[in-house]
Amino acid sequence: MDKIFVTRSILNGNVSCPPSKSYTHRAIFISSLARGNSHIINPLISRDTIATIDACRAFGIKIRKRGQELIISGKDTLKIPNDVINVENSGTTMRFVTAISSLVKGGYVVITGDDSIRKRPMGPLLLALKQLGINCFSVRENDRAPIVVQGGGISGKHVTIDGSMSSQFISGILIAGACAKSEISLSVAGKQVSKSYIESTIKVMSKFGAEIKYSRDYKRYYIFNNRYVPTTFTIPGDFSTAALLLSAGTLVGNEITVGNLDFSLPQGDSKILEILKKIGAIISINKKNGTVKTIGTEELDGGEFDLSDTPDLLPVVAILSLKSKKPVRIFGVSHTRYKETDRLRIIASELRKLGVNTKLLPDEIMITSPKKLKNAQLDSHNDHRLFMSFVIAAMLTEKSAVDGVESVDVSYPSFLQDMKRIGAKLS
């Protein structure tokens, strides 16, 4: 892996937040199932979303890029792919493609990905699809990719799925289930994590004409027999990425303003705003202009944070702890062990290199930071969110190195350029 050297930095300026990866995935898949032309405005074009575009093209969907929009010519009948679908490193693509493959009229779809994808669990989704009459299996019989799904359409009936590992399983069933032969009732067993991402899925589905009833706790759903209708959908700025930028402003900023934020669409990671206030950061929010400004501070307050619905905030809150005068406890995060990497374990081990005291439990981490951080060589394990967080953390040291430069194109291809532009000292 390539590494970058980071020296102590002070950031200052404006950054336009890149478009949401989560909304881009959902809009591309759903519009691919809507017969006719849809226009996706301001999509994120990154390694993960390109994997989604390529997967939809494999099903016979025509997708064109024109300026700042994608024109997607959706179909209500998907063709059998000519080759294996490779989702690269994208877990969202993997889970959604697996569910959508069941809509192919006949034949088989084979889905795989990189080393990380082939380690990520798929069991709950495969079990749910089998309950819906779909023949699907892991070729290695370990509930992991490569996965084979036989087409033939989804039979409507009641299905129960485990919600404790990933919300993407539920989102995949919802998106594909709207095109089932009849209505589906879905119940979630166990704890439902990342509910905000399911809310985003339902929001995009409704924009394309699908109707779903669901309980307030996101554990029971009724999916009507719908057909998506083409529409124009604008992708909002990504609060998952904004959280990283705002943490940079808080930790090493003079003053940073993050723009291109849309407060009207649900995004769980907008919770970063209340977390920043609770931990003692100085921020000002302008919903009308879609901006948040943060001013750097010498010391933060610490505290306890439940991230069960916002797992992508784990790396952000972890690095905010580096300026906290009191310990930071982050809990409800066992499902972060099934992301691109075991993020919980890696954060604990890498922060120790900086002289930080970390205590790791199955579902939480306690972080106590020293007054002065050590220089270190940090390994992101090629995880994009860990890489970006570790780069920001390294700006608090005199000089450190971070491995995994190539990972940023997964979600924020211009991250390093944007950081340099506002004052980051990177080489």
pLDDT per residue as tens digits for the range 151-161? 999 987 899 99
End position of a domain, from candidates 234, 264, 289: 234
Give pLDDT tens digits for 338-347: 788 899 999 9
Cα 185 off chain centre by = 26
pLDDT value of position 165: 86
Task: Tell me, rounded to whole angstroms, the distance of Cα 91 from its chain centroid.
Answer: 9
Question: Could you tell me which of 93, 111, 94 has the C-alpha nearest to residue 21?
Answer: 93
Query: Over the stretch 383-396, which tens digit does the pLDDT of each residue have?
Result: 999 999 999 999 99
pLDDT of residue 255: 94
Q: Could you report the per-residue pLDDT of 234-260, keeping only the tens digit for each?
A: 999 999 999 999 999 999 999 999 999
Contacts of 136 (CB under 8 A, 6+ apart): 98, 101, 102, 126, 129, 130, 147, 148, 149, 150
Percent of the chain with pLDDT strictly greater than 90: 90
Same domain flag for 308 and 362: yes
Identify which of 235, 244, 157, 166 has the alpha carbon closest to the alpha carbon of residue 198.
166
Confidence band of 348 (pLDDT split at 50, 70, 90) = very high
Asked whether residue 130 falls in the same domain as residue 252, the answer is: no
The residues near 255 (Cβ < 8 Å, ≥ 6 apart) are: 12, 249, 293, 294, 295, 296
pLDDT (mean) for 220-230: 93
Q: Mind listing the pLDDT tens digit for each residue in 286-331?
A: 999 999 999 999 999 999 999 999 999 999 999 999 999 999 999 9
pTM of the entire predicted model:
0.93
Query: Do strands 184-189 and 158-162 pair parallel, antiparallel, or not at all (unpaired)?
Result: parallel
Say whether both 85 and 97 belong to one domain: yes
Look at the chain and report how many structural domains it folds into. 2
- Stated length of the chain: 427
Do 249 and 391 lie in one domain? The reply is: yes
Same domain assignment for residues 128 and 11:
no
SS3 57: helix
Of 175, 205, 234, the domain-final residue: 234
Rg (CA), the chain: 21
How does pLDDT run across 201-218, given as a tens digit for each residue? 999 999 999 989 999 989
Question: CATH code at 355?
Answer: 3.65.10.10
- Kindly state whether residues 224 and 250 are assigned to the same domain: no
How open is the CA angle 233-237-241, to the nearest 5 degrees?
Answer: 140
**pLDDT value at position 115?**
93
Q: What pLDDT, on a 0 to 100 scale, did the predictor assign at position 2?
A: 87
- Is the predicted pLDDT of residue 126 greater than 90, yes or no? yes
pLDDT bracket for residue 1 (50, 70, 90): low
Same domain for 185 and 290, yes or no, is no
Residues in CB range of 387: below 8 A, 6 or more apart: 380, 402, 403, 404, 405, 407, 408
Known catalytic residues are: 312
Query: Does residue 245 sit in the same domain as residue 364?
Result: yes
Residues 228 and 279 in one domain: no
- Do 271 and 292 contact (CB within 8 A), yes or no? no
Range of the domain at 42: 21-234
**Residues 215, 352 share a domain:** no
Query: Do the beta carbons of residue 166 and residue 183 sit within 8 Å?
Result: no
Task: Clarify whether residues 248 and 230 are in a common domain.
Answer: no
How many Cα atoms within 13 Å fall on the side-chain side of residue 381? 14
| Three-class secondary structure of residue 403 per DSSP | strand
pLDDT at 38: 98
- Residues 274 and 380 placed together within one structural domain of the fold: yes
Domain end (from 234, 264, 294): 234
Q: Each residue of 69-83: pLDDT tens digit?
A: 999 999 988 999 999
